Amino acid sequence: MDKTQLLVALGIALFAAGFVGVVIRRNALVMLMCMELMLNGVSLALVCFAQRMGATDGIVLVFLVFVVGAAEIAIAIPILLLLARTRLTLDVEAYADLKG
């Protein structure tokens, strides 16, 4: 198996595992970490293709994705802390009344 093929397959597997985690787990913090796993799988595929094509632009794009991911966590964690303070749980089924 080609090296790029192996790594793209790993990226797909990481994305799928993160997706499963977001859907099946009940802890909001664990769901957030699984979203990070999905993002890591996608950026692995992006790095692979950028390196294969010899494109510096792709590397810059990966860096920008990292920064946006860090900003996302910086917003998401205070929201989770706020939820945990008001309802005293991180179980997402306790927040089922949020749906319209």
Partner 1 sequence: MIEDLLLGVFAGTAAISAVAMLVARHPMRVAIALITCMLALAGIYALLGVHVIAIFQVLIYVGAVMVFIVYVIMLIDVRDSAYARRYSWMLVPGIVVAVALAAVIADAMWRGAAAPAGPAGATYGVQAFSEAFLNEYWLYFELVSVLLVAAVVAAISVVKLGIGRRG
Site for partner 1 in 1-40 (CB under 8 A): 3-4, 6-10, 12-21, 23-30, 32-34, 36-37, 40
Size of the site for partner 1 (CB under 8 A): 73
Task: State how far the Cα of 34 lies from the Cα of 14, in Å rounded to an integer.
Answer: 9
89 lies in the binding site for partner 1 (CB under 8 A): yes
Q: Please name which of 1, 40, 49 lies closest in space to residue 17, comparing C-alpha atoms.
A: 40
Residue with tokens 């790095």: 47
Of residues 69-88, those binding partner 1 (CB under 8 A): 69-71, 73-75, 77-82, 84-86, 88
| Closer residue to partner 1 in complex, CB, 86/100 | 86
Q: Compute and round to an integer the Cα radius of gyration of the chain.
A: 17
Nearer to partner 1, 85 or 99 (CB): 85
How far apart (Å, rounded) are the C-alpha atoms in residues 55 and 42?
17
Contact flag: residue 42 with partner 1 (CB under 8 A): no
Is position 50 an interface residue for partner 1 (rule: CB under 8 A)? yes
In total, the chain counts a number of residues equal to 100
